[in-house]
Each structure stands twice: as C-alpha cells, then as structure tokens.
Amino acid sequence: MQNLVVILGTGGTIAGIAPEGQSDLAYQAAQLPIDALVRAVPELADATLELEQVAQLDSKDMTHALWQTLAQRVHHHLVRAEVQGIVVTHGTDTMEETAYLLQRVLAPAKPVVLTGAMRPASSRHADGPANLADAVALAREPGAHGVLVAMAGSVHGAADVRKAHAHKLDAFGSGDVGPLARFEDDGALRRLRAWPAGDALGVAVLDATPESWPVVEIVTSHAGASGALIDALARGGAKGIVIAATGNGTVHRAIEQALEGAAWADLAVMRATRCCDGAVLDVEGAGAAWPSAGALTPAKARVELMLRLMARREGASAPARPL
Ligand code: ASP
C-alpha cells in the first residue's frame, strides 16, 4: 500500500526556539529535531510517517553540499514504491532556491512538499504545526506531483514561488500567476492550476564534488553601476553571471561593456528582473544578447544557470524548459 509519507528535516525557523522574553523575530533557527516538530501536530498523531534528520541549519547558510545530499535523499525515497509523497521542513530564506533545484533535478512524479514557518516553534502563535499538517496532506493528495511549497494555507509551484515578504506570516507568493492551490477553511484543497511538470536533469547532474560546481554569481544592475564586479568575477574564474536586471531585463551600459570586454572569459550570462513581479519578455536591444530567465527570481536563475552548466559539462544537454 502506497501511503507512507517521509518527512526530511533540515532546520529553519520551524525548528527554531526563542530564549524566554524575546520576540518572535529574535530566536535561534534550527534547534528542534524533526520528531519534536511532528509531535506538535495533533493531526499527524496516527499518520504513517517516516522521519529523517538530513541537516539542522538556518537556511540562509544553505550550501551546495547540502543541496547535493538533500537531492540524493529525496531521490532515494521517491523510488520506494511504498512512499506516497515527501515533505521537507526547511528555512524560508532559501526555500525557493531549494524547491527550484529539486524540481529541475528530479521533476518528481510524486509530490515533494517544502514547508517551514515564519515564527519559531516556541512562539505562542507558532505557524509551523499548521504548515506541517498542510504539507503532509498535500503529500497524500491523489494525483499531486512535482515540487511544491505549502505555506500559510497556500500552495506554490517550484518555478513560481518566491519569498515576497521579510516577516509577515503569509510571506510567500507566486508573482503574477498566483498560488497553484489553496487549503480552504474546511481543510479541503482547491487546485487552481496544473501541478509542476517538466523533464528531470537527473540526480547524477549533481554528482561532482560541490567544490567543483561551476561558480555562478549574481550582479545587480542599478543606477551608478560599474563593470568592476564583472571584471573581478571573470578574472576569478566564474563560469556564469546572472544579471539582476532593471525592469524588463535591461542592463546598465557599464555592465554591458564589461561583459563584452570579458568575452575572453567565456562567461554564460542570463538576465533576470530585479522587479518583484513579472517575467523578462524578450525584445530587441536592451541586453537582448543574453537569454532571459523569464519569471525566475535572480536567485533561482542562478540555480538554473548553474545546472545548465553542469549538464553541459556532463555532456548531456539540459532538457529545454519554458523560461
Ligand atoms: N533564517 C531562517 C531560515 O531560513 C528563516 C526562516 O526559516 O523563516 O532558516
């Protein structure tokens, strides 16, 4: 019977504790083990669950090494016939990047649901238990698949999700397209759009030691920009640069000139918008020499460019995905 949900703990605020007398904003993330988080959710008392502590960190400190381990553990459990879905508890700061990486590498045919919290577990009004209950319900949802984020009653797809607010409870959004589904007040799941789909690059794309993953950095285009960062990155051996571009993917002339001057470095360049919402639409001119990252945030475009470079290095061509 395929009814087992595996919950992988990685830390974050959902596992955080605030020392007595401190507010919900001042706390230590990544303190409680995954079994303590599950014990705090009455709805999960009789659920068929398997728990694994993969890491215990504040996700602002996420590393490529942990991404590699996490992708391997998720893949390990996905191929088990008895597993219906997987939940990953994760800090909210880099949740969108991890979700995107897992979707591109695994494109799972079962649901892989990331969840976290904006308030620590010790808060009198902790949001983690309800988010975890929703995430497990989503992991059990018949027909659901792909990497999803369940936060504050909304469900987001890996390609669209972004942390949109620094501290409010409902901190996540999906930009223009809106959430993929919502939990209604009676607990029913209302789906609004299709589950995430696409081709998987395959977990082997992450096989190289994390220290040898291609260096891909983000450079913001802004008033008064110079080409200094581009020059330094090219000389330092970077393989790719994501420009967090203005508006519809426009790039400051000084940065354009520096990129042209660094042609010898054979840098792969991608343009994402630094605007909160809206995709970069390809138009003539205005930096159009470099591919657009569509609606990906600069942080997720960095993941995309890095994976493309890794897939190319492997000799495999990265399956096309609509950007
Ligand atoms: N700094 C925390 C983390 O990302 C924030 C959170 O989880 O909300 O782990």
CATH number at residue 48: 3.40.50.1170
How confident is the prediction for the chain on average, in pLDDT? 94
CA distance 29 to 121: 9
Give distance in angstroms: CA of 98 to centre of ligand 1.
13
CATH value at residue 263: 3.40.50.40
> Same structural domain for residues 186 and 235?
no
- Does residue 141 line the site of ligand 1, with CB under 6 A? no
Index of the ligand 1 atom closest to the CA of residue 12? 9
Relative to the CA of 30, which ligand 1 atom is closest?
A: 9
pLDDT of residue 21: 60
In a shared domain, residues 34 and 106: yes
Q: Nearest C-alpha to atom 8 of ligand 1 is from which residue?
A: 92
Residue 46 counted as domain residue: yes
Question: Are 28 and 167 members of one domain?
Answer: yes
Give me ligand 1 centre to Cα 270, in Å: 27
pLDDT at 267 over 60: yes
Q: Do 118 and 248 belong together in one domain?
A: no
* pLDDT greater than 90 at residue 108: yes
Judge whether 13 counts as a catalytic residue. Answer: yes
pLDDT in tens, 152-201: 999 999 999 999 999 999 999 999 999 999 999 898 999 999 999 999 99
Claim to verify: residue 138 and residue 220 sit in the same structural domain: no
Cα of 308 from ligand 1 centre, angstroms: 27
Ligand 1 binding pocket includes 28 (Cβ within 6 Å):
no
pLDDT at 313: 81
- Ligand 1: nearest atom to the Cα of 94: 4
Cβ-Cβ contacts under 8 Å for 8 (sequence gap 6 or more): 34, 52, 53, 54, 70, 73, 74, 77, 86, 87, 88, 89
Rg (CA), the chain: 20
233, 301: one domain:
yes
Q: Is 12 in the pocket of ligand 1 (CB under 6 A)?
A: yes
Distance 82 CA to ligand 1 centre (A): 31
Evaluate whether residue 89 is within a structural domain: yes
Total domains present in the chain: 2
The per-residue DSSP string of 79-125 comes to: T-TTEEEEEEE--STTHHHHHHHHHHHH--SSEEEEE--SS-TTSTT
Q: Is the CB of 97 under 6 A from ligand 1?
A: no
pLDDT of residue 23: 73
Q: Is the shortest distance between the CB of 29 and ligand 1 below 6 Å?
A: yes
Q: Is 9 in the pocket of ligand 1 (CB under 6 A)?
A: no
Residue 323 has a pLDDT of 39
For residue 215, what pLDDT band results from cuts at 50, 70 and 90?
very high
Q: Is the CB of 111 under 6 A from ligand 1?
A: no
Assigned domain for 158 exists: yes
Reply yes or no on whether the pLDDT at 316 is more than 70.
Answer: no
| pLDDT of res. 282 | 80
Domain region containing 242: 214-313
